[in-house]
Amino acid sequence: MNPIQRLAELGQSVWLDFIDSSLLRGGELERRIRQDGLRGLTSNPTIFQKAIASSNDYDDLIQRASAPDTNEAILERLMVRDLELACDLFRPLYDSSHGVDGLASIEIAPSLARDTAGSIETARRLWNQVERPNLMVKIPGTRDGLPAIEQSLTAGINVNVTLLFSVSRYLEVVEAYFRALEARIAANEPIDRIASVASFFVSRVDAKVDKALDALPSSSEAQGKALRGRIAIANAKIAYEAFEHAYSGERWKRLAAYGARPQRLLWGSTSPKDPHYPDTYYAEALVGAQTVDTMTPECFEAYLDHGDPEPRLEQERAEAHQQLARLKTLGIDLDEVTRTLEDEGVDAFAESFDKAVKSIATKRRQDKAA
């Protein structure tokens, strides 16, 4: 049993944070599922932008577009086509796991992160276009995204709540999930196949906090150094503590009696931004039951090669709380950090989305010139 498969034995599913045509059509994805223990897949605008710009694999769809088609519509069509195939390749796992895994995620346009109505409409459109029960639609967990998340779940759409950084926002996401399930029960709609994850972006927290720690005056240098590379993991451990509390109470037990499944915590951005940290630094620290780690191909290969699975999320919780308290005494406001990270995350994905659209526009111009 390899380290990825051992994670599954400990209750953590590994998904791949990557998609492109060669992965889907060259047999690699099937091999990773069958041999390596891969259990799902996520995508985002950055991944698609790189796939379009770095290959000719999508030129056929771009060339077939008619003149009135917008570049944004072509991008959506391209994403839908890849996610249909990904869902089909994962379908046997989805069926054998009774809907727990074998899921693949598509993301709404980042420009909708603060557009509730637009998010709801786009989530419904993507869900209907792909038309696979093992699709997840990624909706950012911004303030304006929360109603879209709740309404989409109420409509029976699987939702990957993305771009989470703070525990306080996560608790709002849990509330939205509970309300959606309760609304479906009230409407006599089934809830036993509703799938959802709440995705924390991990390494970005340390990238931001470490920079602030490095800027502390010399009088606080030793304290700052002791917290370097610790805050993202501490934050995740406290989020996991909140998860366990939420999914052990009476309200959840009533939902579980109707077949509801927990909205698992998903750890994203688990490749270290700091090259001084080991390549499996966050993946090792974030192992816990009923969680997901969506890894880049590089992180996946590294963990497959030298991962050391052990359920560490439940360890040293008191220390995690103390670390966040010490951070506050140093004058670093984690709430402010996470708000900034949310804004930067929306902007970064919007930029990647715009680049993907521009890549399509460039290829269309080249086709006309030829």
Three-state DSSP class for 34? helix
At residue 61, φ and ψ (nearest 5 deg) are: -70, -40
The residue among 168, 169, 124, 167 whose CA lies nearest residue 144 is: 169
Q: Which residues contact 99 (CB under 8 A, 6 or more apart)?
A: 133, 134, 192, 193, 195, 261
**Cα–Cα distances in angstroms (integers) from residue 151 to residues 100, 124, 157, 250, 271, in the given order:** 21, 10, 9, 23, 32
Reported as a single tens digit per residue, the pLDDT across 15-60 is 999 999 999 999 999 999 999 999 999 999 889 999 998 889 999 8
The amino acid sitting at 6 is: R
Q: Which of 50, 138, 225, 328 is catalytic?
A: 138
Per-residue pLDDT at 369: 67
Residue 342 and residue 346: Cα distance in Å, rounded?
6
The amino acid sitting at 303 is: Y
The amino acid sitting at 45 is: P
Residue 65 and residue 49: Cα distance in Å, rounded?
18
Structural contact between residues 159 and 176, judged by C-beta atoms closer than 8 angstroms: no
**Cα–Cα distances in angstroms (integers) from residue 21 to residues 57, 63, 85, 217, 359, in the given order:** 6, 16, 10, 50, 16
Asked about 355 being catalytic, the answer comes back as: no
Tokens 């090259």 sit on residue: 275
Per-residue pLDDT at 365: 86
Structural contact between residues 308 and 278, judged by C-beta atoms closer than 8 angstroms: no
Q: Which residues of the chain have pLDDT under 50?
A: none
Residue 257 and residue 251: Cα distance in Å, rounded?
10
Structural contact between residues 178 and 303, judged by C-beta atoms closer than 8 angstroms: no
Q: Which fold has domain 3-369?
A: TIM Barrel (3.20.20)
User: Pairing between strand 103-107 and 159-164?
Assistant: unpaired
At residue 320, φ and ψ (nearest 5 deg) are: -60, -45
Per-residue pLDDT at 67: 87
Q: Which residues contact 253 (CB under 8 A, 6 or more apart)?
A: none
Residue 160 and residue 17: Cα distance in Å, rounded?
13
Per-residue pLDDT at 366: 81
User: Pairing between strand 135-140 and 103-107?
Assistant: parallel
The amino acid sitting at 61 is: L
The residue among 202, 206, 205 whose CA lies nearest residue 276 is: 206
Q: Which residues contact 267 (CB under 8 A, 6 or more apart)?
A: 199, 200, 202, 236, 282, 283, 286, 291, 292, 293, 294
Rounded to two decimals, the pTM is 0.96
User: How far apart are the two ends of the chain, measured CA to CA in Å?
Assistant: 52
Tell me the domain boundaries of the chain: 3-369
